[in-house]
Amino acid sequence: MEKEEIIDTIKQFACSLAEKELIDKYGKLPEQLMTERGTYRSKYQDEFNKLYDKHEDRLIRLSGKNADELFVCE
């Protein structure tokens, strides 16, 4: 798998996991957490960001790489 594919996969999974955690916590559908433009309502955005970062970090570690190896351009 190419480096860019790994990054994209990690970001997709981190986003899905963070969204799932918000849905479970608040018992709402994704649409109820978002504005009509598809962005998270301010009430949920900061929490989503923290959850995303947490899951992204874990997925990076599971990949056997570190953030610098994946995200720093050579």
In this prediction, residue 4 has a pLDDT band, given cuts at 50, 70 and 90, of confident
Both ends of the chain: CA-CA distance in Å?
A: 18
Look up residue 54 and give its two tokens: 């947490």
Mean pLDDT of 11-25: 96
In this prediction, residue 73 has a pLDDT band, given cuts at 50, 70 and 90, of low
Share of the chain above pLDDT 70, in %: 95
Residues 19-55 have pLDDT tens digits of 999 999 999 999 999 999 999 999 999 999 999 999 9
More reliable by pLDDT, 6 or 13: 13
